[in-house]
Amino acid sequence: MEKLQNIANFKGPQGPLVLVIMDGVGIGKYAEGDFVKCAMKPNYDWLQTHAVYTQLKAHGRAVGMPSDEDMGNSEIGHNAIGCGRVFEQGAALVSNAIASGAIFQDTGWRQIADGVLQNKSTLHFMGLFSDGNVHSHIDHLEAMLRQAKAEGIQKARIHLLLDGRDVPPTSALLYVDRFEAFLQTLNADGSVDFRIASGGGRMGTTMDRYEADWRIVERGWKAHVCGDARLFASTREAIETFRKEVPGILDQDLPAFVIAEHGQAIGKIVDGDGVIFFNFRGDRAIEITRAFEEEQFDKFARGPRPNILFAGMMQYDGDLKLPKRYLVAPPGIERTMSEYLVHSGVRQLAISETQKFGHVTYFFNGNRSGKFSEALEDYVEVPSDRLPFEQRPWMKAAEITDVMLEAIAANKYRFIRVNFANGDMVGHTGSYPAVKIAVETVDLCLGRLMKAVKAAGGIMVISADHGNADDMYEHAKKTGATVNDELTGQPKPKTSHSLNPVPCFVWDPAGTAQLRLAAGAAPTEKGPALGISSLAATCMKLLGFVPPADYDPAVVDVG
């Protein structure tokens, strides 16, 4: 890879360029439920009139999703920000592979299906039970079950991780009832036995990420593999029981459960079985993959590891080759901003707390787990709290800021990138007071950073990967009216990401860059003209480099 070319009339700021990603902080469509708008955020508000400001797309086709009805998410958002272009993402790649039938001809599916047929064993499907299209989609699961029946596989067991995060927070039974009817149709002729075997809410069962809490994966292993969790006759019975015992519990927090007959689990995973983890997104799939694949494993006591065939929907980590077997190849993202900057001699710092650490490193670097240069890159992970985020909505924002202030003052790095996770992680809880505090916390940290950047002669770029805290109430699609809960009369909480644009501020307190909004960067009547993929070229320009010709255009011009 060649070095980036220098801009003739601008060499970059005296201090560092700081990219701040306010995770989950978008620009709301409705005043009701917009906890970004109602939060006390003097620094954000000041930037709107004193910095170069525009709006950016952060969902749908602008970030590689199949349609503009699909929300953005942190994984694809950081891919887009870090690589400066839009790649077709997992949701689109898997849907296309299923539509064409290619997925069922490729090596991954053939090895699993043929192995199960040869062993006369059980095919297990495990993953997020959702049509949110962020980690998975029910349509993909149903297509694979139809194909399994068509190929003569007689027994399948499904291990469901309930969502309530990328879909309405207590919608599980709507999906379960529909899916049970689907299974009943498949089972009707008596040729197959396809049933739900276990499950649990995604935040407490199986889907941990960045090794924040391996106990979550252990609960999933015990339920899915060992049949060791609370027993119920049906998924509906499990959900209804948990809701009666803990009124107000969200789907994402439901405990692990196992479906049993005569006191025995109906779907343990045993030698000779096949297992497909059908999430296409990698961050919350890696740890359970390691539990199935690693020979030497010390994160929890697995007991005897069954000798099975395992596949992921996609390869979740290309560097570590996890999993070894997968059904659809992930997007081939290369020539990311970090790689270009390393080849151009730019020293960089990436920092976040555990919950988003992989986003400012792995996903930002095009799904690459290692550094491009040990000499020029430093990564700092601040350990996240192990408790519900609504109980501590400030999370680790202050500690992250402390590290950044020291780095900015030392002028050790030319480029610093940070993710503040509060707006997203607390937004997913549906706790309105906590979300407001989360947004205000990020703003407080912005103010601290602004003082440091000004003192160092640096420049700040402040944006987001997608919205969330800006859209916390359910709204009727046709009228936009707030939807109230029938029992409480209060607005129904919305815990998923929004389809809203995100802000973009570029602030040069010293005025060295002579900033101006680039032609074509201002929003039009149809909405934002550019997407968050434009942040890469923006950062390159502000560092004094000419962006690659195929990068999406920068938000600002300099000099």
The catalytic site residues sit at: 74
CA atoms within 13 A on the CB side of 168: 14
For tokens 């709107």, the residue is 48
Structure tokens at 408: 């900015």
The token duo for 173 is 């039974």
* Selection from 31, 21, 28 nearest residue 469 by Cα: 28
Angle made by CA atoms 182, 188, 194, in degrees to the nearest 5: 60
Runs of H (alpha helix) within 232-285: 235-245
Helix (H) or strand (E) holding 540: helix 534-542
Dump strand ranges (E) for 307-427. Answer: 309-314, 326-328, 348-353, 377-382, 415-420
Tell me which DSSP letter residue 320 carries.
T
Q: How many CB atoms lie within 10 A of CB 5?
A: 12
Q: 38 to each of 160, 285, 437, how far by Cα in Å? A: 37, 35, 11
Give the sign of the dihedral formed by CA 228, CA 259, CA 297, CA 163. Answer: negative
> Can you give 448-494 as a three-state secondary structure string?
HHHHHHHHHCCEEEEECCCECCCCCECECCCCCCECECCCCCCECEC
Helix (H/G/I), strand (E/B), else coil: 379: strand
Tokens of 472: 């916390």
**Reduced to 3 DSSP states, what percent helix, strand and coil does the chain have, rounded to the nearest 5?**
35, 20, 45
Rounded Cα distance between 124 and 373, Å, is 40
Cβ contact 70:91 at 8 Å = yes
CA separation, residue 406 to residues 21, 397, 409, 448 (Å)? 19, 15, 5, 12
Task: Count other Cβ atoms within 10 Å, centred on residue 241.
Answer: 15
Report how far residue 414's alpha carbon sits from residue 543's, in angstroms, rounded to the nearest whole number: 8
Max Cα-Cα span within the chain: 78
Residue 53 — left, alpha, or beta (φ > 0 → left; ψ -120 to 50 → alpha)? beta
Alpha-carbon span 366 to 275, nearest angstrom: 27
Q: Any idea which residue has 């610093």 for tokens?
A: 416
What tokens does 144 get? Answer: 């694979």
Distances in Å between the alpha carbon of 552 and those of 337, 464, 465, 531? 12, 17, 16, 8
